[in-house]
Amino acid sequence: MLVMAHLSASFSAILRVRVEDRPGAFADLARAIGDAGASLDAIDLVRVEDGVKVRDVTIMASDAEHIERVATAARAVPGVTVERVSDRVFLAHLGGKIEMSGRLPLKTRDDLSIAYTPGVARVCMAIAADRSAAWNLTSKRNTVAVVSDGSAVLGLGDIGPEAALPVMEGKALLFKEFGGVDAWPLCLATQDTEEIIMICKAIAPGFGGINLEDISAPRCFEIEERLRAELDIPVFHDDQHGTAIVCLAALLNALRVVGKRAEDIKVIVTGVGAAGVAVTYMLERSGVRNIIGFDRQGALWKGRPGLTGSKAAYAERTNPEGVQGSPNDALRGADVFIGLSGPGAVTAAAVRTMAKDAIVFAMANPTPEVAPEEIADVVRVIATGRSDYPNQINNVLAFPGVFRGALDARASTITPAMELAAARALAAVVGGDELGPDYIIPSVFDRSVAPAVAEAVVAAARADGVAAR
């Protein structure tokens, strides 16, 4: 089966071209771009010179190399000169994606006296007398620190704190846009567990919550567990719990589509890092009983030699039948496949051995574990982590609402019940008249999502006794 490349704005570029002003000249260029497998997204006339028209041609490609191939094809067209190729993603990131802005005017001496000295001194003393007053008299009540050590960034791996910064800026932008939460990236030049814990504890007075991001397993488990125990503000590792919340919401609705019950299904999970462990435990809390996890060495089963730490604990509570071997073998008769690993983790042939009305969540990004096009004829519901396929499982559906609710409740922590409530609220956003194989999870641009999740989180925080208001 021929698998067509997906063209995406993630790989779009602007070609500044000089085209001879003659009939058919631009048509030749457009044809070359199409023959190279790209699409024309926009055409803008920059200026007209003697016998030449200068245009900006925006194209969409499938990857960075594809952009270069398109540019090469354009250069080969007679009468066309490519002056430059500008990657739109890099243009968008020039100068960063976020900035700080003030909430008070500073136009007069009175403004300065109120916002800063001498007026601010009285506010400082009020907080010194009652530390909890900081929640009302500072930005703490609406501010989250996005903390990363750059050790597990997207699918890129250990690329360091500076390289992680664009992702953390993006996270802060999403917090503000979808949850109304002010977030700030803190990329740390250390991967020492104790140092990260110490730094987070030291900065905690200035924030209402801490979002841990892109910290590799197994260190992320201890860091989050310790910080939740030692701080009185919410700490949330989004790679774990954000992924788990959205994945469960999507699965609840997928099960409605295929008419199966959580307690009856067999689930195969590839990848038992931070996300895989959290997703598994969230599914267990929702009633799924038969989950088999796989790492690069195969199935995790109780007693497998060499297992320690989080993987040993995982093996103790999953795989009730002690299945061994590869995920391809285990897929036979399985109802659900959840991929949190990488491309090629399972084969299309193995997916075809799954049970009737199978559900596949292939969430590796940008290349899924198995190409959706190769299994679309046998799988009932398919979801990925990409925006250019139906059913995108994206953490932005969870973390803005989770933190909005936690901050509104002034929660001291985020409990499993709050996470489960968030997942159920997210699933409920998709009404019964909308639900279908290609729509099991809301769009990231559905503005009803964050308020619905936040409301559920507030209610669960109050029920769990962790809400201060």
Residues with a known catalytic role: 116, 171
Bridge partners for 366 per DSSP: none
Does residue 338 contact residue 391 with C-beta atoms inside 8 Å?
no
Cα separation of 382 and 391, whole Å?
7
Cα separation of 175 and 167, whole Å?
12
What is the layout of strands, in order, in the sheet containing 235-237? 182-187, 143-148, 209-212, 235-237
Residue 366's φ and ψ, nearest 5 degrees, are -90, -10
Sign of the alpha-carbon torsion through 409, 443, 215, 97: negative
Cα separation of 420 and 416, whole Å?
6
Cα separation of 344 and 346, whole Å?
5
